Amino acid sequence: MMTRPCDSLPPVRGSIMRDAPLKDLVWFRAGGPAEVLFRPADADDLAVFIAAKPADLRVSVIGVGSNLLVRDGGIPGAVVRLSSAFGKIEIDGMKVRVGAAALDGAVARAAADAGIAGLEFLRGVPGTIGGALKMNAGCYGREIKDVFVEASAIDEKGNKIRLSSADMDFTYRKAQGARDGLIFIEAVLQGTPDEPAAIRARMEELSANREAAQPIKSKTGGSTFKNPPGHKAWQLVDEAGCRGLKIGGAQVSEKHTNFLINTGDATAADLEALGEEVRKRVQEKSGVMLEWEIKRVGVA
């Protein structure tokens, strides 16, 4: 019999599950399983696993799946999902040290309680800090790069490394220096002093605006397409006549046309096909080819 990379995994202190369902771990509530799902006990456990794994074992990382579409064939190799040990939030003056598994909204609230302004925008960013670092997440005119000090990650050989802002090389919705083999474990963010009550008031306003404008109570993956230079993605989608467009159980949101939603029984194939149909119609109408913001992973 042929031996697969997943058949010879190193011993770990965390948990390993084979043929692990991912559908309930992503916001779209669609998609196939992970060949192996590894939840490391801590950073040392993760580093040992990466250093000792078979060289040809493919490793992927998922957070809470807020901006992720897992294809129906699932994800081959090992999928790493950081445990609660990576979700700590610590305050040091105007700096916030956060684990990569910390929810963006929780970081915003902790900063507000400590009188640290500038991180309010994270209240409107779904997902975890690890994902926010990878894609330079942002909203309402602020991005991770605006508050970033440094990050720590495990590299492809299991070494712990530190990355500066220059190392990250942030651009619009991307950290160009964060190569695919890096797994973020921690970040340091910095804000400015302000009254907690004033910060909370701004956060509540952002949250109310988001709920009014976006289908956040639907099974969705957040903003589907990046805003092209000089354009707004939702407007291009709307002008192409795609509001409410459906394929199978997937639909372009009536509320915000840069959101795809699972109306109940959509497959990942339905959602991806709908996104591609939208891109085609937008290009035919405006000449602009939209770029996916949602990360699509796995096999069809």
pLDDT of residue 8: 84
Q: 268 pLDDT exceeds 70?
A: yes
Contacts of 16 (CB under 8 A, 6+ apart): 9, 36, 37, 38
Could you tell me the CATH number of the domain that includes residue 34? 3.30.43.10
Contacts of 252 (CB under 8 A, 6+ apart): 237, 242, 243, 244, 245, 246, 259, 260, 261, 274, 278
Residue 138 phi/psi, 5-degree rounding, is: -170, 170
Note whether 180 and 145 are same-domain residues: yes
Domain span at residue 132 reads 87-200
pLDDT digits (tens, 9 = 90+) for 138-168: 988 899 999 999 999 999 999 999 999 999 9
Could you tell me the CATH number of the domain that includes residue 126? 3.30.465.10
Q: How far is CA 218 from the centre of its chain?
A: 17
pLDDT of residue 3: 52
Q: 274 pLDDT exceeds 90?
A: yes
Note whether 75 and 95 are same-domain residues: no
Q: 234 pLDDT exceeds 80?
A: yes
Percent of the chain with pLDDT over 90: 91
Domain-ending residue, one of 169, 200, 231: 200
Contacts of 102 (CB under 8 A, 6+ apart): 86, 87, 88, 89, 128, 129
Question: Do the domain assignments include residue 263?
Answer: yes
Could you tell me the CATH number of the domain that includes residue 239? 3.90.78.10
pLDDT of residue 2: 46
Question: Do the domain assignments include residue 206?
Answer: no
**Contact by Cβ (8 Å): 187, 152:** yes
Look up the pTM and report it. 0.91
Question: Do the domain assignments include residue 20?
Answer: yes
Comparing CA positions, the residue from 5, 22, 136, 26 lying closest to residue 73 is 22
Q: How many domains, in total, are found in the chain?
A: 3
Note whether 191 and 167 are same-domain residues: yes
Decide: residue 249, CB within 10 A, 0-12 exposed, 13-18 middle, 19+ buried.
Answer: middle
Question: Do the domain assignments include residue 106?
Answer: yes
**Contact by Cβ (8 Å): 136, 143:** yes
Give the residue numbers marked as catalytic.
173, 223, 293
Question: Do the domain assignments include residue 208?
Answer: no
Rounded to an integer, what distance in angstroms lies between the CA atom of residue 269 and that of residue 275? 10
Domain-ending residue, one of 200, 227, 259: 200
Note whether 160 and 263 are same-domain residues: no
Question: Do the domain assignments include residue 9?
Answer: yes
Rounded to an integer, what distance in angstroms lies between the CA atom of residue 292 and that of residue 276? 9
Note whether 126 and 194 are same-domain residues: yes
Rounded to an integer, what distance in angstroms lies between the CA atom of residue 100 and that of residue 152? 9
Comparing CA positions, the residue from 127, 108, 105 lying closest to residue 221 is 127
| Long-range pairs, 211-215, Cβ under 8 A, ≥24 | 213/255, 213/256, 214/255, 214/256, 214/259, 215/253, 215/255, 215/256, 215/259, 215/261
Note whether 91 and 196 are same-domain residues: yes
Note whether 67 and 38 are same-domain residues: yes
Domain-ending residue, one of 32, 52, 84: 84
38 vs 3, 33, 81, 276, CA distance in Å? 19, 13, 6, 32
What's the mean pLDDT in 50-54? 96
pLDDT of residue 1: 46
* Residue 186: band (very low, low, confident or very high) from pLDDT cuts 50, 70, 90: very high
SS3 161: strand
Note whether 115 and 55 are same-domain residues: no
pLDDT digits (tens, 9 = 90+) for 114-143: 999 999 999 999 899 999 999 999 988 899
Amino acid at 215: P
